[in-house]
Amino acid sequence: MAKPVKRLNPNWRQRIKEIGKGAFQREEMLILGFWKPKELNDKQFSQANQYLRETVDNLAKKRQDLADAFKKIKEAQDVEKIISEIRQKRIERSKITREKRRLEKQEQKKIHDVEDKRRRLVTPPFLGKGVSGKLLFEGGDNEKRELQNLPPLKDMADLSSFLDVELGKMSWLSYHRQVTKCDHYWRFKIPKRNGSHRIIASPKTYLRNVQYWINSEILSKIAPEPEATAFRKQKNILNNASPHCGQGIVIRVDLMDFFFSITFPRVRGLFESLGYNPGIASILALLCTDGERRKVVYKSEDWYVCEGIRRLPQGAVTSPALSNLIARKLDRRVRGYLTSQDLKWTYTRYADDLVLSHPKSDAPVGKILKSLDKIISDEGFSINEKKTAIMRNPHRQMITGLVL
């Protein structure tokens, strides 16, 4: 049987790189049988050869590790390259961090914008020039409000909820615009007996519904003074005239521009006196008042320009009740003054018509009228002297179209 042919390792170049030239020569001599220690038997030789191979392999691995380490050391000596890589990594980290912060800020801004938009709707900081000075949605007298069984309103959200109207629409209805394309009132004129005209402002649907609610849920729950006989259920011109029947003297005093004398600050003050905070009182007052507006055409478009300050519109749902409530102090003062002068004086008021009467036809009219003028002036009204009438018995005495 022929002996197997022992050949040189075909990858001898790679092997020399791995274990070195000397070790490679020794290894090949052992494999090819050119060198074999005589003192070892075959088994011992095989074991020694196996151990040698393992040792050589370990050395080869360590040699490779050293080569890799030397390569890294050599590369590490290129400082500029290392610094450049560090800078590049830092720039990349910075870009990632900046992008993360940008996205976080963007998200925070979206959340803030949504919250700010709602806050401005719920507690508006501005509702127009000249009417935003007391938009403070804090305070109020809850105890007084509860005693009068009035709805708990502290901000626009509460009002919107009670009315079942969107917040945005509530802001649209209450915002005071000096110039606007949309007028919340239908405006027209009706002739008066003296040949002049009375301007009527009738609220449009959305505002009318809001005013109906304010009138029924707030204003109707507050009783005016007993002397006020206009704009009240089960009261009419007969109730105004009958207390003065058979009197010796009847004095009729007319208030000039009664509704227009009641301005926005006075209406706001009334709602504050009912227990509401200044902010919600301002909103309620804005919904119940308006300025006179003149229609102009600009670039083929209709515009409505506010002329003057906000007042009670003659034609608004809430104006009659508001006028009675705001005139309560006037009624109390007139009643108190007349009582202090003579208990026989009788006083009633039908809207802007004040009627005083006394059993004696020679009662001190001059003194009474002078004091009455001061009281009326103090309360923010003025007398239309052209309509003041002093009617003594037995001459005809007429009140609100009724002959006594």
pLDDT tens profile 208-257: 999 999 999 999 999 999 999 998 888 888 888 888 888 889 999 999 99
**In which order are the strands placed within the sheet that holds 249-254?**
346-350, 353-358, 249-254, 389-392
Work out the pLDDT band at 52, boundaries 50, 70, 90: confident
- Mind listing the pLDDT tens digit for each residue in 353-400? 999 999 988 888 889 999 999 999 999 999 998 888 998 887 887 777
CB atoms inside a 10 Å sphere around CB 103: 10
**Joined tokens for residue 109:** 């801004």
Does 145 have pLDDT greater than 70?
yes
In degrees, rounded to 5, the angle at the alpha carbon of residue 314 between the alpha carbons of residues 309 and 320 is 110
User: Cα–Cα distances in Å, from 266 out to 178, 273, 305, 377?
Assistant: 20, 10, 23, 15
Contact of 189 with 199, CB cutoff 8 Å? yes
Q: State the pLDDT at residue 157.
A: 94
Question: Is the per-residue pLDDT at 1 higher than 70?
Answer: no
Average pLDDT of the residues of the chain: 87
- Rounded Cα distance between 216 and 321, Å, is 10
Which 8-state DSSP code applies to residue 67?
H
Phi, psi dihedrals of residue 355, rounded to the nearest 5°: -125, 125
**Measured in Å, how far apart are the chain's first and last C-alpha atoms?**
160
Provide CB contacts within 8 A for 44, sequence distance 6+: none
> Exposure of 16 by Cβ count < 10 A (0-12 exposed, 13-18 middle, 19+ buried)?
middle
Work out the pLDDT band at 39, boundaries 50, 70, 90. low
Within 13 Å of residue 70, how many CA atoms lie on the same side as its CB?
6
The larger pLDDT score, comparing residue 63 to residue 9, is at 63
Between β-strands 398-399 and 389-392, what pairing exists: parallel, antiparallel or unpaired? unpaired
Q: Is 100 exposed, middle or buried (0-12, 13-18, 19+ CB in 10 A)?
A: exposed
Q: Say how far apart CA 305 and CA 296 lie, in whole Å.
A: 7
Give the integer Cα–Cα distance in Å for 181 and 305.
9
Q: How confident is the model at residue 342 (pLDDT cuts 50, 70, 90)?
A: confident
CA–CA separation, 172 and 255 (whole Å): 34
Q: Is 236 helix (H, G, I), strand (E, B) or coil?
A: coil
**CA quadruple 334, 337, 343, 349: dihedral, nearest 10:** -10
Average pLDDT over residues 265-291: 96
The pLDDT of residue 34 is 65
pLDDT digits (tens, 9 = 90+) for 290-325: 999 888 988 888 898 998 899 999 999 999 999 999
Indicate the pLDDT class of residue 35, thresholds 50, 70 and 90.
low
Higher pLDDT, 158 or 113: 158
Residues 6+ apart with CB under 8 A from 177: 128, 306
Tally the residues of the chain.
Answer: 404
Is the peptide bond preceding residue 394 cis, with omega within 30 degrees of 0? Answer: yes
